A = this chain, B = another copy of it.
Amino acid sequence: MKKQPNITAKSIREARERIDHMVHYTPVLHSEAISKVAGCDLVFKCENFQKVGAFKARGAANAVLKMSPEERRKGVATHSSGNHAAALARAAQVANIPSYIVMPSSAPQVKRNAVEGYGGIVIECEPNLKAREEGLKAVVNQYGATFIPPYDHIDVVEGQATCALELLETYRSLDFLIAPVGGGGLLAGTALATKFYSPNTKIIGAEPEGANDAKMSFEAGYRIPVQTPNTIADGLLTSLGKLNFEIIFKNVDYILTVSDQEIISAMRLIYERMKIVIEPSSAVPLAVVLKNKNLFANQNVGIILSGGNVDLAGLPFKSS
């Protein structure tokens, strides 16, 4: 086996050092006002301030830097229209290698521009999964590029784990740590880092009701992919990856779900009181806290704000 088979305490720390020149050590913010509303002591790890505006910069950087020189020379590829596409293009740009991003023709121009702004080569395809997979296969065959998937990949998960590592280095007595869950890369990495560095901290996955496959899978003990996901938290539409499910099933304490209305209320509270821009996915953990105040009462709670890439023209706030 070429890849290191396991993520360990040591390998997460090494990943943090590996990607140090590529990512921000993001700040942790407090909010007295929101802590008061929630009835617990909240700290927020701000990946909205991360490079490319999301935690995805970590996993992409780690995956690129773990490739052999020969692999790297041929570049990297993925199919994505979201934060991973921009994160991979940027990691490749910093590493001075080509990146090939297969994108559906329906992707917004602004996402295409982001990828091309980082020097990524966009390959357009029909807007369906089959066309995306075929487009990816063609690029991999033609250039010998290495496919870096958005979440279900050991080096990606290891990279995402560096986010919780940074938080736990400073905040050593968290009772709970909550991360949003979609494909599960961030939650799996968070669970492993916490298991190694703060074993008494309970780990919670925060999920939208409209894409609750992690909760269903977690309860069933096997993966149940989501059929027709529907939520404002557009970063969490995907189903849990296979590797990620295994890690999450073993290491996460609860998966808790919230409605879109609860997500929007939490998001608004963060904009109003913390004066920071987050994407809807980032608001899911706070929504979970506000919905389950008894569980968190007077506890020290860490929340990962996963990103800040939001359509500013379509913010979901109504006049109050």
* Residue A189 CB within 8 A of the other chain: no
Contacts of A312 in B (CB 8 A): 268, 271-272, 315, 317
Bitwise, A59-84 to B at CB < 8 A (1) or not (0) is 00000000000000000000000000
Taken together, the copies of this chain in the complex come to 2
* Residue A319 CB within 8 A of the other chain: yes
Contacts of A278 in B (CB 8 A): 275
Alpha-carbon distance A317/B49, docked complex (angstroms): 21
Contacts of A276 in B (CB 8 A): 275-277
* Residue A1 CB within 8 A of the other chain: no
Contacts of A308 in B (CB 8 A): 275
Contacts of A5 in B (CB 8 A): none
B315–A319 CB distance below 8 A: no
Alpha-carbon distance A313/B320, docked complex (angstroms): 8
A48–B272 CB distance below 8 A: no
* Residue A3 CB within 8 A of the other chain: no
* Residue A53 CB within 8 A of the other chain: yes
Q: In A270-320, which residues have CB < 8 Å from any B CB? A: 271-272, 275-278, 308, 311-315, 317-320
Partner of A313, one of B49, B110, B313, B318: B318
For residue A22, give the distance in angstroms from its CB to the closest CB of chain B. 14
Contacts of A275 in B (CB 8 A): 48-49, 53, 276-278, 308
With A312-B268, A312-B315: A320-B277 Cβ-Cβ less than 8 Å: no
Alpha-carbon distance A110/B320, docked complex (angstroms): 8
For residue A36, give the distance in angstroms from its CB to the closest CB of chain B. 11
Alpha-carbon distance A314/B320, docked complex (angstroms): 11
Q: Can you list 14 A-B pairs, Cβ within 8 angstroms, ordered by A?
A: A49-B275, A110-B320, A268-B312, A275-B276, A275-B277, A275-B308, A276-B277, A277-B277, A311-B319, A312-B315, A312-B317, A313-B317, A313-B320, A314-B319
Residues of A that sit less than 8 Å from B by CB: 48-49, 53, 110, 268, 271-272, 275-278, 308, 311-315, 317-320
